[in-house]
Amino acid sequence: MSASKAFYVKNNNGTQVQAIGLGTYTSLGGDCERATLHAIDVGYRHIDTAYFYENEGEVGRAVQQKIAEGVIQRKDIFITTKLWCQFHEPERVEYACRKTLQNLGLDYVDLYLMHWPYSYVYRGDNEMLPTDANGEVELSDVDYLDTWRAMEKLVELGLTKSIGVSNFNSEQLTRLLANCKIKPIHNQIECHPALNQKPLIALCKQHDIVVTAYCPLGRPDPAKKQPNFIYDAKVQAIADKYKKSTAQIVLRYLIEIGTVPLPKSSNPKRIEENFNIFDFKLTAADHAVLDSYNTGERLIKMEHSIKSKNYPFHIEY
């Protein structure tokens, strides 16, 4: 399977990104490295990681191996990683980015995202969720605009080609757009048929910001037959019609509603299956079925950060 099967999406700064990416959250212990190696062989040219995932090293080793083998050149692959919440103070941003580049073994990343709009107190590089005496996460009140200005400098320094955000709501995004020198190219958000995010996708489209979709398959649980949009007979009937799996139907739906999905898998067969979604199109009737699962229910609520003034989920979108 060649990389040419998947189309590319244009970013607002002239760069482009493949219309699907490999998600790597919770992929550890060598699984992430094996998954990335296989994904590149299959044709993926878009890999998503984060400092918080603690697997940047695995992604980096896989990418370097495939470059050494001549399968890809560095310019062929789009690597996204993210600034974690304890590095939001402007003076820590460049340090955090350089640490990430060291983890990856790369000179630059293609996209550096602010992982969340809220921030934590810095208690050390590895204290991802610093807690106080009561066991509550220690929030700080750094303004994400100040963090963003420090991220803009990373582009000038050549440490990242592009910058973007993750988990920003409509108000936060609008405020950022009114106060930035460099526009975010992406907003990475939880998105699947149960949380289809159409209002936020529309806002991002209006401002020429690509939406990347994490948890696109809603974290399937075969034992519980959840989420229903993967296991329901109505979606299975659509899958049968196209000779695809229900997961492929969901990923295709997410592409057609205007997102770039980031399915996470370390299973070689599923990595291939998730990529093989560019040879069919859904009908309006198929879309109506998938739209019917939209309850607005989130999987990722980050309730330990709910007291932050920058917690993004207090409003509808």
- Binding-site residue numbers for substrate are 115
Residue numbers belonging to the annotated binding site? 115
What's the CA gap between 188 and 155, in Å, rounded?
19
Catalytic residue among 53, 214, 253, 311: 53
Other residues' Cβ atoms within 10 Å of the Cβ of residue 57: 15
What's the CA gap between 128 and 126, in Å, rounded?
6
**53 counts as catalytic:** yes
Residues classed as catalytic: 53
